[in-house]
């Protein structure tokens, strides 16, 4: 077994902690210098050759800065890149193919963006040799016999034109703060600016500066700019972030069109429905987040996603997750019976006008232990709707008061200006002096918050902040939980964990929740009924009463002109290819939400 030791320098306080990593290490006591300080260095160095993997330093470190894990023997000689001594390592690389879309799926911190940056030419792979990095001829020789040999030959000679959409689109205005139309025009090497302007609904913001755009607008501009360039290879890192479901399908169709004209396309995506819809084949990247990542061999898109959900690679006999992710095979969630669940909330219809936007919402009834999913386009009033329920906005019309009910609200846009630690925030939300074992086992551990407890909220990443916000919302004592886009910034596994935790919390407390969600699979997984929003984004919206899953999904999917089926093996929702035999058959009978599963 190869051994990987990683030191998180952001957590290490070696000059102030008494150096327990050295004091307790058996190797150091025996004179092997397994852990030592190089001259002039503020941080210790762990010798992976001498380390026995006993784990004492990991347990003794008071700041959780050290991680030591074993990696499978099968990848020991396949290191593609390592950032430094005792830093993250990536084994293997995804294999791109002309005329195909490669979908990459994996956890946050497992190396997906690193793999893309290598293929984009931003990082030169060092094959794990930090001190003596190889030259291009050695790298090309290392990948001989695979498609990557020719790829790196062309990349090293600058014969490969690459168009790359990065993950962090919020940094784009820092590089270019001009007008949207000017940016697209400058990079429009394929003469497709007008077409993209229409397809991505950019007309309304064509004359706006990038610094004034919302996250969804900025994402669509980034996709347009990437597609407009004339290149052989197109790389997209999480193109669905900030987009609503309708926009995700449009973006997926545009990205797929590149492969149809012979381009090589690689896409990292956390929305499984979008990944399934866009990809021709997939690679799974697994490992220990922040420590190492291993790129699997390529699979067909259906097989690859199912392998990821199962957590087991059969061709390599590697299990990378203890439990598989499963779905209910029932095509419809049964409608709840008031006699069985009990009545909780009856809210009246209302109208509200904000600037030039007007929302009209129908009345509804909510039961105990029920989760109401909210589906609709961006800018159509979903957040306004739950803010009215939360009492943060007052409608113009008469509205039945929720003052007698306690509300817990997680907003869409998370603020990190809280000055305390994660522990302080969660204790305040729970209203207790200590987080007991029940809270830890039901919320803290499943949301992977134990290593964040003593960190300041102000330094958390988007995904970390999202998980803390979900935990804080669920820990509050409330009757109604209002949760706006809980899947944003979360990877696939974290999304499923969040869905299970929300479901378990609402059922155990016998309360109710409204959840706004753009991930179709997560919405399907967590919802009992749906509120569907129709209208004209930015102008007016109409919210339906809560309706059963089949009626709600059929209405929504028909608006989007897509159909869903369930995977035969896993039961997961899959989007039918537009115009396919099953897509046409379902539309012909008006069943947009699942056809019967064939035995």
DSSP state letters, 198-266:
HHTT-GGGTTSBGGG--HHHHHHHHHHHHHHS--SEEEEESTTTT--HHHHHHHHHHHHHHHHTT-EEE
* DSSP H or E segment with residue 68: strand 66-71
Half-sphere exposure of 145 (CA within 13 A, CB side): 1
- Burial class of 392 by CB neighbour count within 10 A (0 to 12, 13 to 18, 19+): middle
Instruction: Give the Cα separation of 238 and 251 in Å (integer).
Output: 11
Res 346: pLDDT: 84
pTM here is: 0.87
CA 382 – CA 431 distance, rounded (Å): 29
Phi, psi of 489 (to 5 degrees): 75, 0
Res 41: pLDDT: 76
Strands 480-484 and 162-165: unpaired
Helices (H), 33-176: 56-60, 112-119, 136-142, 147-156, 172-175
Class of domain 2-71 (CATH, top level): alpha beta
Report the run of H or E that residue 492 belongs to, with start and end.
Answer: helix 492-509
Is 342-548 a domain of CATH 3.40.50.300?
yes
For residue 598, what is the DSSP state?
P
The closest alpha carbon to 557, from 520, 511, 516, belongs to 520
Alpha-carbon distance of 223 to 176, in angstroms, equals: 15
pLDDT of residue 26: 84
Residues near 555 by beta carbon (within 8 Å), at least 6 away in sequence? 532, 544, 547
The tokens describing 170, both together, are: 């919020």
Query: b/e map of 121-153 (b: 16 or more CB within 10 Å)?
Result: eebebbbbeeeeebeeeebbebbeeeebeebbb
Specify the 3-state DSSP secondary structure of 106: strand
Strands 101-106 and 281-288: parallel
| 545 neighbors 531 (Cβ within 8 angstroms) | yes
Q: In the prediction, which pLDDT does 279 show?
A: 94
Q: How far apart are CA 93 and CA 124, in angstroms?
A: 12
| Residue 186 to residue 232: CA distance in whole angstroms | 19
Q: DSSP of 384-402, one letter per residue?
A: HHHHHHHTSS--SS-----
Determine the pLDDT at residue 86: 87
Cα–Cα distance, 67 to 54 (Å, whole number): 11
What is the full DSSP assignment across 131-164? SSPPPHHHHHHHTTTSHHHHHHHHHHTT---EEE
Helix (H), strand (E) counts: the chain: 22, 28
Instruction: Give residues with Cβ within 8 angstroms of 312, minimum separation 6.
Output: 318, 319, 320, 321, 324
Q: Which of the residues in the chain have pLDDT under 50?
A: 331-336, 338-339, 597, 599
With beta carbons less than 8 A apart as the criterion, state whether 263 and 234 touch: yes
CATH architecture of 79-313: 3-Layer(aba) Sandwich (3.40)
What is the Cα Rg of the chain in Å? 25
- DSSP H or E stretch at residue 288: strand 281-288
Question: Minimal CA–CA distance to 377: which of 248, 568, 209, 239?
Answer: 248
pLDDT in tens, 572-597: 888 988 888 999 999 999 899 875 54
Q: Which residue has the tokens 């004179």?
A: 31
Query: 3-state DSSP: the chain helix, strand, coil percent, rounded to 5?
Result: 35, 20, 45
Distance CA(286)–CA(539), nearest Å, equals: 44
Say yes or no: do domains 79-313 and 342-548 share a fold. yes
Backbone angles phi and psi of 321, in degrees to 5 = -145, 140
Give 462-478 as a DSSP string.
Answer: HHHHHHHHHHHHHHS--
Taking the domains of the chain in order of start, what are their residue ranges? Answer: 2-71, 79-313, 342-548, 561-599
C-beta neighbour count of 157 within 10 angstroms:
9
CA-to-CA separations, 332 to 344, 389, 546, 572, in angstroms, rounded = 23, 27, 15, 13
């Amino acid at each position: 077994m190869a051994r990987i030791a990683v030191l998180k320098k952001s957590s290490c306080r070696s000059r102030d902690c008494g150096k327990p990593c050295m004091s307790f290490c058996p190797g150091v006591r025996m004179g092997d210098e397994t852990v030592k300080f190089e001259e002039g260095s503020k941080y210790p160095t762990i010798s992976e050759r001498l380390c026995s993997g006993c784990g004492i330093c990991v347990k003794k470190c008071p700041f959780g800065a050290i991680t030591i894990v074993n990696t499978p023997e099968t990848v020991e000689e396949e290191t593609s890149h390592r950032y430094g001594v005792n830093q993250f390592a990536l084994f293997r690389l995804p294999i791109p193919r002309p005329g195909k879309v490669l979908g990459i799926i994996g956890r946050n911190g497992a190396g997906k963006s690193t793999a893309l940056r290598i293929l984009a030419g931003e990082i030169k792979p060092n094959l794990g040799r930090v001190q003596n990095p190889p030259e291009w001829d050695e790298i090309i020789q290392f990948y001989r016999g695979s498609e990557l040999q020719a790829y790196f030959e062309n990349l090293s000679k600058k014969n490969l034109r690459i168009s790359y959409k990065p993950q962090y689109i919020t940094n784009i205005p820092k590089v270019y703060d001009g007008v949207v139309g000017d940016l697209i025009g400058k990079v429009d090497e394929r003469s497709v600016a007008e077409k993209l302007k229409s397809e991505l609904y950019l007309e309304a913001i064509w004359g706006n500066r990038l610094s004034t755009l919302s996250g969804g607008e900025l994402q669509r501009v980034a996709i347009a700019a990437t597609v407009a360039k004339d290149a052989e290879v197109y790389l997209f890192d999480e193109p669905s972030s900030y987009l609503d479901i309708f926009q995700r399908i449009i973006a997926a169709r545009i990205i797929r069109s590149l492969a149809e004209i012979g381009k090589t396309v690689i896409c990292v995506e956390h929305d499984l429905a979008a990944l399934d819809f866009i990809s021709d084949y997939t690679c799974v990247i697994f490992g220990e987040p922040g420590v190492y990542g291993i790129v699997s061999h390529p699979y067909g898109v259906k097989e690859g996603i199912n392998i990821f959900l199962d957590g087991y690679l059969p061709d390599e006999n590697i299990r990378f997750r203890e439990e598989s992710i499963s779905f209910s095979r029932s095509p419809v969630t049964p409608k709840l019976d008031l006699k069985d669940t009990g009545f909780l909330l009856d809210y009246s219809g209302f109208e509200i006008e904000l600037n030039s936007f007007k929302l009209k919402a129908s009345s509804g009834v909510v039961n105990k232990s029920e989760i109401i999913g909210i589906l609709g386009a961006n800018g159509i009033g979903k957040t306004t709707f739950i803010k009215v329920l939360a009492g943060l906005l007052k409608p113009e019309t008469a509205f039945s008061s929720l003052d007698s009910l306690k509300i817990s609200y997680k907003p869409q846009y998370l603020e990190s200006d809280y000055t305390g630690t994660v522990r302080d925030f969660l204790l305040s939300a729970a209203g207790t002096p200590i987080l007991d074992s029940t809270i830890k086992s039901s919320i803290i551990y499943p949301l992977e918050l134990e290593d964040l407890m003593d960190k300041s909220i102000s330094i958390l990443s988007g995904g970390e902040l999202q998980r803390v916000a979900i935990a804080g919302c669920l820990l509050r004592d409330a009757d109604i939980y209002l949760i706006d886009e809980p899947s944003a910034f979360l990877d696939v596994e974290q999304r499923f964990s969040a869905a299970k935790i929300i479901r378990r919390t609402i059922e155990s407390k016998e309360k109710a929740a409204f959840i706004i969600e753009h991930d179709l699979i997560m919405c399907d997984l967590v919802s009992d009924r749906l509120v569907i929003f129709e209208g004209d984004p930015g102008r007016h919206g109409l919210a339906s009463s809560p309706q059963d899953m089949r009626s709600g999904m059929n209405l929504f999917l028909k608006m989007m002109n897509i159909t869903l089926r369930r995977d035969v093996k896993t039961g997961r929702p899959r989007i039918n290819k537009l115009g396919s035999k099953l897509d046409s058959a379902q539309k012909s009978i008006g069943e947009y939400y699942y056809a019967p599963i064939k035995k």
